[in-house]
Chain A
């Protein structure tokens, strides 16, 4: 039997049970659509993060406590290691020739209150150059200044969300808010940054590092964010800082200096895992769809037992029957795969239009893999029913009622 006729016969029998065929295909449509959609979400997140990190400029280094190998994933901040202190940051800034700024950063959470309204938010202790290094723009007022830091001033810069939540439309500049047990004067409001990957990066309050040390009663830094004089000096700066810190840490390298490339690599690794998990979940639904095909093909083979007998009586070989039923399951899965590609691409594009914080990015490889996998599923889950059909004894099949 020639290929065109095989496809025609398969198509005809699928058309006889339209609803059943469509429902069976739906399993594959959803599976393929889910793979494409979820991978596009993962890839969109990756692109967004790369973009954000890229905007920082390539001459940034971050020193974090604890030694993390680049293969081992991210530093979790829980291990008992020697802390990095405010004084060390100041020391580096003074001593390291290749460094323009060294910002000691402390991160914690605390309640911030204003006239009966309060919010639990991130409190970030920074010094003046931080805003420039991280490319953060002021909306109104000013940022944290060096003199604020030096004189441990209780001043704060609010992110948009915090301002909206606790102050509403009231004039924020000069207002006094409570953070922890202390009163802080609001000196500025950040420009809007928006949502990124579901995180509200406007839900943050900046205060001088020195004040945050008092607030959280610690001199343990979250990190030191460094700006190198120029991109070419990054490697030299790294070496220089390493030498300085090792000397201060009793000759032990219990800290990690990450360049921007390394931060991207670490994030990339996390995102790879995230994308793989998402794709894995979607693949499960694709396999469930395949089982649906197998189920319906088994029903179809049983229903058409007599037809198989007739075809064999007039000369169909086992292979002819096998191919006929296999063609049906492949057509089901490939048609479902095409539908799934359409659905996945439509949903990814739609999500991007509807939600700023879900910057989906469709990759050709996810479309290709999802589609190819759907075709493979048609073959894999179609073989058993088709083989079963092909092995029917013609006499028994002809007698089947």
Chain B
């Protein structure tokens, strides 16, 4: 479902061009649970952004569900993100002014779903992550673990092809972090494809496959 062939990504910085990814090729099948490991600056987050259609590769080819992502416009990428991708971030990235349920509704808003249906569905997914009682709370009134569960509900709500998680446990204590990983495992068992960036080995090892990135090159798990 995800096919990357010889992907490179360069950024032009004041000091010159920096090649962050130097030819990555890999394939991810539907229903896989994958960890991407690497040190800070290895290019693992850039890779995740590319897979998540937040960015386009400098060269190489990216097929997502047989769609050639390279050629899409910014708005088409937005539509792909809306329909096919669910993001979970290290810093949760909930909109602080919106209640938990409003945050969960957000992808549906941009999918053109009407208010009543949005609300019902958002409630259903909050319930799924065990927060059915906390829907009207503002993010600031929730614990870190709860905020991350709201973010997971938001990522799941549009029934995406892939869940992308960028250090989802990075801001949580190990017990809460494990609870989040357990939720990922549960949704993986229901058939979701999950790609998770982490630098903690014991978290990474709970996935089915570990891809290791170092200096923009794949060191293992890329097949």
Contacts and interface: CB of A to CB of B under 8 A. Distances in A.
A399 to B, nearest CB: 10
Contact of B78 (A1, A2, A312): A312
Contacts of B82: 314-315
Interface in B18-66: 49, 52, 54-55
Interface stretch (A79-87, A129-137, A255-263, A317-325): A317-325
Interface string A389-401: 0000011001000
A316 B87 CA distance: 14
Contacts of B93: 306, 309-310, 313, 398
B112 A315 contact: no
- Among B49, B54, B111: residue with most chain A CB under 10 A: B54
A155 to B, nearest CB: 82
A391 B106 CA distance: 19
A316 B110 CA distance: 6
Interface in A173-214: none
A310 B110 contact: no
A55 interface: no
A317 B112 contact: no
A326 to B, nearest CB: 17
A311 B75 contact: no
A320 B81 CA distance: 14
B147 to A, nearest CB: 13
B151 to A, nearest CB: 10
Most buried by A among B78, B83, B87, B95: B78
Contacts of B158: 315
Contacts of A170: none
B114 A315 contact: no
Given A5-B109, A306-B93, A316 B55 contact: no
B149 interface: no
Interface in A280-337: 306-307, 309-320
Interface string A61-105: 000000000000000000000000000000000000000000000
Interface string A375-401: 000000000000000000011001000
18 contacts: A12-B97, A16-B97, A306-B93, A307-B97, A311-B110, A312-B54, A312-B78, A312-B81, A313-B52, A315-B79, A315-B82, A315-B111, A317-B78, A317-B79, A394-B54, A395-B54, A398-B54, A398-B89
Given A12-B98, A315-B83, 12 more contacts: A1-B109, A1-B110, A5-B115, A12-B97, A13-B97, A310-B106, A314-B106, A314-B107, A315-B110, A315-B158, A317-B75, A398-B54
Interface of A: 1-2, 4-5, 12-13, 16, 306-307, 309-320, 394-395, 398
